[in-house]
Amino acid sequence: MTPVFCCGFECGILSAVGGEHFQSTGTASISTTTVRSGSRSIRFNPTAATGSALSPTFSSSPTYIWRLYVWFASLPTSDARISFMSGPAGDPGAWFKQSDSSIYAGISGAYGATGVQITTQKWYRIDIKVEAQSNPWLIDVKVDGVDCGQKTNAVASSSSTNIRIGNNANNTMDMFIDDVIISQDLADYPIGKGYIHPYTTIADGTHNIAGTGDFQRGNTAVDILNATTTAWQLVDDVPLPSGAVAEADCWRGVAPATPATDYVEGLFGPAAGFPTPTIAPRAVDVILAHHQIATTAGQMEVRLNDNGTTVTVFNTGVGAAGVTTYRYARNHFATAPTGGAWTVTAGAGNFNNIRCRFLAQDANPDQCLDAIMIEAEFAEFEHKQPEIQQPYFGKTIVLSSGQKNNIKLP
């Protein structure tokens, strides 16, 4: 599988300042009450208005394959898009048809021959494939693994750089979406079951700091040194910070003696309340918040460290103008930095030992990493239902999975 993006909305950011997972383009908010996995989802609750959000920009492609989960607290009052390939005319993707309360493969309000009926108060898995590389386009949708009728569109080829979730036309509804993963590889359809969990810094890694005054704990003038063990607490925010910048709560590059090689390092692990992975992720999306203390030109870089092999997550670039408010950046890693598949064991690609490094390559003005986290997607396997113990007139009967509770005692 070769995904280009995943998001469970754990980052909690829907602004339009740049670098976010999703930008709100209508009535949208982050929910912490109706979620499928993790701690957050995105909610679209418009009243006679639009409610949608736009993905990051990807390499232009005529083919997209993606999966999401949808929950309706109240169904749309008219036909509505659930998610579609943004840009091409007609919004090809998964649509809701109000007349029969069903999900279809659709474009321009026209649908495939069959849909899958849905109701409220239930999570549905939606797998979507759009092939627009030739005439006709092919649009396929599955709901919990059940095929909707394919929709074709007899027009010339087209391509896109984004996916949109939600409905970009006036409607009234209350819809939640969670656990989004996107690919541009037709072989990945259908992506199938999965979930996304958040990971953040849980400990310091091995810092490489030449001396005092190089890196500091925000604006406190307290140095981060090679022996420091609590620097991770400055960048472990989940969700990512927004609003007024907390200048004391960041890694601050002040004057590294050797900017190309000096760094602060943090070890990633499960965010509070989440388990340590026991299977390897299929997709790893790193997202961070950063700023500078002045708008003059400077440079910072954030890298992933996989057993000594490092790759760039984000680099402002040489001579980049500084921004003094929060900005966001992301990068996707379908494979480990070492080039092979992700694992959860010792050695190359060990997700449970992945680290981040912060370098202030031009620290005039000071460079600040405010927070960094990972949203990782895992395949969801079927598990045998555990045995259930039920009391029966003072005695305990053990019921195996699937056994009916109609046992009679002698």
3-state helix, strand, coil in the chain (%, to 5): 0, 45, 50
* Rounded alpha-carbon distances, angstroms, from residue 230 to 50, 215, 266, 291, 299: 45, 13, 10, 21, 25
3-state DSSP assignment of residue 158: coil
Q: What type of residue is 381?
A: F
DSSP state of 184: -
Q: Are 248 and 219 a contacting pair, CB within 8 Å?
A: yes
Fold of 198-379: Jelly Rolls (2.60.120)
3-state DSSP assignment of residue 368: strand
- The encoded tokens of residue 13 equal 């950011």
3-state DSSP assignment of residue 331: strand
- Global pTM reads 0.91
Mean pLDDT of 35-41: 97
194 Cβ contact list (under 8 Å, min separation 6): 67, 179, 181, 282, 377, 378, 379, 380
Q: What type of residue is 54?
A: L
CB atoms within 10 A of CB 209: 21
Residue range(s) in the chain whose domain bears CATH number 2.60.120.200 = 3-192
pLDDT of residue 52: 96
- Listed range (274-278, 338-342, 400-404) with the worst mean pLDDT: 400-404
- CATH architecture label of 3-192: Sandwich (2.60)
Q: pLDDT tens across 219-264, in order? A: 999 999 999 999 999 999 999 999 999 999 999 999 999 999 999 9
157 Cβ contact list (under 8 Å, min separation 6): 62, 132, 133, 134, 135, 137
Q: What residue has token string 């494939």?
A: 129
